[in-house]
Chain A
């Protein structure tokens, strides 16, 4: 089945530690995205990438880093510089061959808790 796989599903981290969240897609989509969701809140864009080896900051990029070495993969690192990292992290992808911004396909998310 085609889709987006995020891991781990749940993650606990001590303050001061970096953590990397994995996101893999087999949909052959060009663009990939990372969103953050806080309880009862909407989705805020952290980073996105439209092509391999290139990515752009979203609205809340501070304290996060990403890489896009392969089309299928877009890992997100939550660094110790992120002041409030406890949140639900959602990875998504989109095809860019329709000529306009189309639908996002989301992974099941990673829930990060900082102790």
Chain B
């Protein structure tokens, strides 16, 4: 079945360092979404990318969708303690139909002062 993998699984950084998480799908995705889940909280939608090669920015966060629409990345410049949490990518399941998202395995980010 369709799988969505993320690397790394964990990342510890010093405040001010950059951070990147990578998302890879076994199949082509019509779009890719990114969510953030704070410790003890629920996932919150960050952004959706639809076009091949698309790049979007939200302040210190940069999101990319690969040319083949099978991979994506999230880059955070100059991390802050407020960036702590787990970042998930998610894409629509193609096989079997239905409007549903398959979530990646997530990258847990810890930021130390």
Residues of A with Cβ closer than 8 Å to B? 31, 33, 35, 40-45, 48, 50, 56, 58-59, 90, 94, 96, 100-109
With CB as the reference atom, state the residue of chain B lying closest to A108: B42
For B106, what are the chain A residues with a Cβ–Cβ distance below 8 Å? 41-42
Chain-A contact segment, one of B13-21, B65-73, B94-102: B94-102
B44 close to A106 (CB less than 8 A): yes
B100 close to A48 (CB less than 8 A): yes
Distance between A62 CB and nearest chain B CB, rounded to angstroms: 16
Besides A42-B106, A43-B103, A50-B99, 8 other A-B contacts (C-beta < 8 A): A42-B104, A43-B43, A43-B88, A101-B30, A104-B35, A104-B43, A104-B90, A108-B42
Q: Tally B residues with Cβ within 8 Å of A.
A: 25
Distance between A55 CB and nearest chain B CB, rounded to angstroms: 11
For A40, what are the chain B residues with a Cβ–Cβ distance below 8 Å? 108
A103 close to B88 (CB less than 8 A): no
B98: contacting residue among A42, A56, A90, A107, CB under 8 A? A56
Number of A-B contacts (CB under 8 A): 58
A101 close to B99 (CB less than 8 A): yes
Distance between A101 CB and nearest chain B CB, rounded to angstroms: 4
B108 close to A96 (CB less than 8 A): no
For A33, what are the chain B residues with a Cβ–Cβ distance below 8 Å? 100
A96 close to B99 (CB less than 8 A): yes
With CB as the reference atom, state the residue of chain A lying closest to B1: A59
B43: contacting residue among A48, A58, A90, A94, CB under 8 A? A90
> Given contacts A42-B103, A50-B98, is CB(A100)–CB(B31) below 8 Å?
yes
For B30, what are the chain A residues with a Cβ–Cβ distance below 8 Å? 100-101
**CB neighbors of A among B7-59 (8 A):** 30-31, 33, 35, 41-45, 48, 50
In the complex, what distance in Å separates the CA atom of A88 from the CA atom of B52? 34
Distance between A13 CB and nearest chain B CB, rounded to angstroms: 21
Distance between B113 CB and nearest chain A CB, rounded to angstroms: 23
